[in-house]
Chains A and B, each alone.
Chain A
Amino acid sequence: MRIFLFITIRQICIYFWWKTLVKPIWIARDPSLCSGCRRCELACSIHHEGWMWPEASRVRVFMPFPGVEVPHLCSQCMDYPCVSACPVDALSVDPDYGAVIVDREKCTSCGDCITACPGTVPFLHPGDNKATICDLCGGEPKCVEVCIEAGYNALTIVNEEPNIHRKLYSRNPVDTARDLAVKMFGEKGEEVIE
């Protein structure tokens, strides 16, 4: 009994100690700073797939018009509509960082998470056809690492608690690009993306 109590108290202590170490993170994104180099896609796919595979990258840079580049990735909405939409419970939330974790065994490739996402962020992996979503690389996102290394800072890490604004970043990238085009080109920006 004493041993059991000792282990329980120890576990509780470890939990709180860990919680002091783990800070919430979010990838802040500013498409106007994106160079379009797509090194985020390469770093992400090297980490997750072992080799350069832009289409399997969890961050994808859209370019509906040259110069108007929009990095597109999960925003970790507070209400996680993708997780609740999954009919087979293949999606869950990582307790430490809030990333959406996909159980590839359970995923049936139905695409419900894609339609539930306000920004249509998830996609079916070009290799195994399973839902694919940013997992924040266990707290050290590789995409951010290379973006900052190059001095672009289009993707940066912020240590902030979840908030309702994040979900609003989850937009169709072409809509974001339309806004960005106007910001860059003025009136002409209205014409360049059909």
Chain B
Amino acid sequence: MTPGGYAGKWLDVDLTKDKIKEVEYSDKVLEQYFGGRGLAAKVLWDKVGDKYPELDPLDPKSPLMVYTGPMTGIYPGSRICVSGKSPVSMGTVGSTAATEFANEIKEAGYDGVTFTGKADKPVYLLITDDGAELRDAGHLWGLNGEKTLIKLNKEVTAELTKRKPNVGLWKDPGMIYIGPAGENIVRNAAVITKLCHAAGYGGYGALMGSKNLKAVVAKGRGSLPKVDAPESAKLLWRKTHQILIGRSQFRREGTGYAGYSVGAETSSEPIRNWQEEWHDEKSYAGPMFEHRYWVKKKWADFNCTTNCMKISCIKTGKWKGDITDMPDYELQAYCGTNFGIYDPEANIHLATLADKLGHSGINGPNTAGYAVELHQRGILKDSDFGFKPKWGDPETFDRILHMMAYREKIGDVLAEGTYRAALKIAEMKGLKPEETLKYAVHVKGIEIGAHGTRSDVDYTHDISYAASVQGGDHTSVAVDGYSDMSGSVFTDSAVFCNFTYYGVPQSLVFDFAKAITGFPITLESWRTVTGPRIVTLQKAFLMMGGPDLEWEPVKDDDNPPRFYEPLPSGPYKGKTTDRELVNTKLQTYFETLGWDERGIPTKETLKKLDLGFLEKSMSKLR
């Protein structure tokens, strides 16, 4: 019998052969890897194994996973997890986005989809209670995110109504899709959903594009999967919501007030590609967004009462009709202060544009800001851009984001992501790699989220990114190898939102997990066994890397050079990341997880975590 919380079936789609089959995973695999991020890593290993270093993530053979977890839809805050071999880090990332696609696929009777191969023409996958089918997406290819969503929603609803006209009105399907950036295989492109939500880290939009897969659409009419202890689950559901409803400030403001406060209070906001992290620009404060642009102040995804999202709309002027969420803090920073922009309207426009083009609103703009700093330093010239780029100028960044998505001029190089672009530009300009890498703010190829480490007063510190198996991902930072194992490693595998997790006692959440699945799991078991198992497998992938990029143990387990420059301004002027502390804590982190001093999992650890299959690959690295 399928454990609670799972529909019990996953789709395996071979895009080359247009073949779709249903697969199941054993209870043991589900208990050990749960779903989402964890299960995707395990399935990737099962499909690729020791040949992992030879696999080009953008090759048709490279699998792309779109998975839910056992708690998806049932625990507040429904999300989907996208994973596979990342074309930026060459490891794996459990990249999640809030969307009704996640509960719809479960209601259709599936827990997820694994794609392999490459379609000979653009397609989308439609999943319903009657199974799944690949449909032509020729008419959608080239469309921006907003147009794709509008057309696909209408088309699929009409199709479902045609198939079953007598059942009444069909509610809208859920969907994930890519924009032009994904289609043109911009390495750090996102998988987008709901206009402005994205699974950004990892570059899985590029994977979809490389497979000619424009979208995945799901509509189910079944119930959410049955659970092991329904009465407990229902009680816990009410209780969890009561706690979330009590978080009044976060519900009111979301992260939409942080574009000012993270700069002004904690000095950890990217400004002009992290040249500074402090500002006191009151023009950029929360109320300036809220009073003029927020047209919906409580916007939530399926089964969420945190409603941290607020919808912004520009109703006048040249950007009239731009719609996005708040923008949230990350995009206020990356599509605002990081460009030297402190104008809410320009920020809303650029965030809308990033989503429409299918960029990850963190990673793409990180690369764009990086390019403008290289121009400031005289490394890139006006001729590389075809115009004179300027900090604080919305038009500059509008153009660069377009150039990246369509791979025009320098945009073609920038479309490789910040790290690879740095190497290419060094080569183009006859420079040593260090000369361009010193301005590149990434860890393991993943551009860093908008929380710096230098002031040391934000939630991100010394080894937050340096030790993380997901590099610069601010949603999955390393702490001590113990407490972080029940953080996003868990939420990305159970697949629900971090913002419906923080603030709820973890013991309650693990009781909920147990009530759903029936697995004998506890907070402690996740911190010492299940979490470390998933992270160790991810670490192994990251260390194996390949085929054209390998990370050097310890040396690359580090912050970018910029994070060791002293902060040039603000109340924390002069402070910087403590390198000695990084080195010490890194070793402690490795030790806690049972990895050797170079961060390579030991034989004993692999045995303890039932990861013996990794021994052959790891012994080569030791």
Residue positions of A touching B, CB distance < 8 A: 32-33, 35-39, 42, 45-46, 49-56, 60-67, 72, 109, 111, 114, 120, 122-124, 126, 129, 146, 149-152, 172-173, 184-188, 191-194
Contact = CB atoms under 8 A, between A and B. Distances in A.
B100 interface: yes
29 contacts: A33-B298, A35-B298, A35-B305, A37-B300, A37-B301, A37-B304, A38-B302, A39-B303, A49-B223, A50-B230, A52-B224, A54-B107, A56-B223, A66-B194, A67-B295, A123-B167, A123-B168, A123-B169, A124-B167, A126-B167, A150-B305, A173-B169, A184-B313, A185-B321, A186-B315, A186-B321, A192-B146, A194-B153, A194-B154
A62 to B, nearest CB: 6
A124 B166 CA distance: 8
Among A51, A124, A173, the one with the most B-chain Cβ atoms within 10 Å of its Cβ is: A51
B241 A150 contact: yes
A55 B311 contact: no
Contact of B107 (A35, A55, A150): A55
Contact of B234 (A46, A66, A184): A46
A188 B320 contact: yes
A114 B168 contact: yes
B267 to A, nearest CB: 33
B220 A55 contact: yes
Contacts of A186: 313, 315, 320-321
A62 B299 contact: no
A42 B241 CA distance: 12
A45 B223 contact: yes
Contact count band on B:
35 or more
A150 B321 CA distance: 30
Contact of A54 (B103, B196, B299, B307): B103
B303 A53 contact: no
B375 interface: no
B171 A37 contact: no
B477 to A, nearest CB: 28
A133 to B, nearest CB: 10
B23 interface: no
Given A66-B149, A186-B313, A126 B221 contact: yes
Among A37, A38, A109, the one with the most B-chain Cβ atoms within 10 Å of its Cβ is: A37
B73 interface: yes
A51 B226 contact: yes
B243 to A, nearest CB: 12
Contacts of A193: 150
Given A66-B194, A187-B320, A150 B245 contact: yes
Nearest to B302: A38
Given A36-B301, A51-B224, A60 B73 contact: no
* A-B pairs, 9 with minimum CB distance: A123-B168, A188-B321, A53-B223, A126-B221, A37-B300, A35-B300, A66-B194, A52-B224, A124-B167
